[in-house]
Amino acid sequence: MDLFKKCDDFKTVDEAKAQGVYPYFHALESKQDIVVSMEGRREIMIGSNNYLGLTGDQRVIDAGVAAMKEFGSGVSGSRFLNGTLTTHVILEKELAEFLHKEACVTFSTGFQTNLGIISAIAGRNDLIFSDKENHASIYDGAKLSYAKLVRFEHNDMADLEQQLKNSDPDKGKLIVTDGVFSMSGDIANLPEIVRLGKKYGARVMVDDAHGFGVLGATGRGTAEYFGLEKEVDIIMGTFSKSLASLGGYMAADEKIVDYVKHKSRPFIFCAAITPANAATALEALRILKKEPERPKALLEIAAYMRKGLKAKGLNIVEHSIVPIIPIYTYTMFRTLVACKELFERGVYVNPVLPPATPEGECLIRTSYTSTHTKELMDEAIEIISDVLNNLPKTDEEVMAYWAAKHE
């Protein structure tokens, strides 16, 4: 059989494009902000992870430009060899201090951070306990480690305890969880995870990609929110969200960080983040430290949106406080049409389809920024409610509606 037969048989994209509902790869024509220009349209941006609104902050931009002028456009090598800049070292030091950890190491992307940490820390004789809704990079990191992966039901602490209880007491154990789950906005039950980790001799790692800059009195994330910074062994995060850049980090005890720096293949054999990436992340971190009101403003705008969307009769996932608000659209075609109509009306959102959700539980994922205004959110609420409340409920009805609209 031809290796590329699967490519020829892949018709999903062509079908969606033919129906005019393909939702991906819309091209930005402006910098990431609360309102953007996208394919000639003004779009209210509620589909990015720019939580603190810093990607367009002039201070962050200036820091990146200055770093490129000083160090050039790239590092031409790995951190292990010629690719370490003074900016990397300063960024790691300030991040470690901010997160109340002994040490920190940076990686080229957030995805690579999970690959690098998990594959170095865990091995063939170890066990990894992973929430079923954890990010894909956690699962791929577990595969790369060759450790045995044990999945527990989402945020189900009884199931986690049962899995731990049934495990071999002589094996090393790592419990890994998202701090904030990126699709649902759920917050991990970190107090219980920490308690179970201590009870069964397991270490705890938190992927705080969507918690950093969002939760906690100073924006340090999920561990700060629960007062458990000392009890969480490894904190992982990204620069591409609250820190307005690209890359990732691991914060932990110095001996753990040092081990990963010398054992992690995704770290050793990959070029370091560019001078501009390091400098912009560092400047964004310093702004967060100087302006701790940003996370508070972020949660306030999220609460405002939850209240406004619910008042319009929309079925939202409302049990969390974070700036991720999924809106149920149920069926796949209905979700695609809704996203298309919202885009045409000037609101950019993200479709969440199977396998990311169960069949019949499709969502529109909306996410917010600390610099969003209530006036802009009122405009978005009106458009979203008008589109969704007037859209037929079943895929068959939506198909007929869509066909009639485009005759």
Q: Which of the residues are catalytic?
A: 182, 210, 241
Nearest to 35 by CA among 48, 23, 45, 20: 45
In single-letter form, the type of residue at position 33 comes to D
End-to-end CA distance of the chain: 41
Q: Which tokens sit at 98?
A: 């901010």
Quote the tokens at residue 337.
Answer: 């049409």
Look-up of token digits 């859209």: 391
- Beta-bridge partner residues of 42: 37
Return the bridge partners of 352, or none: 363
The answer to whether 190 and 220 have CB atoms below 8 angstroms apart is: no
Omega of the bond prior to 292 within 30 degrees of 0, cis? Answer: no
Amino acid at 142: A
Hunting for tokens 């998990």 — which residue is that?
118
**Rounded Cα gap, residues 335 and 391, in angstroms:** 10
DSSP 129: E
* Cβ–Cβ under 8 Å, residues 373 and 55: no
What single-letter amino acid sits at 391?
Answer: L
What length does the chain have?
A: 407
Single-letter residue type at 225:
Y
Residue 122 DSSP SS3 = coil
Q: Could you give the CA distance from residue 298 to residue 133 in angstroms, rounded to a whole number? A: 24
Task: Quote the Cα angle for 170-176-181, to 5°.
Answer: 160
Half-sphere exposure of 167 (CA within 13 A, CB side): 29
β-strand 347-348 against 41-45: which pairing, if any? parallel
Would you state the structure tokens that stand for residue 356, as one six-digit string? 């990311």
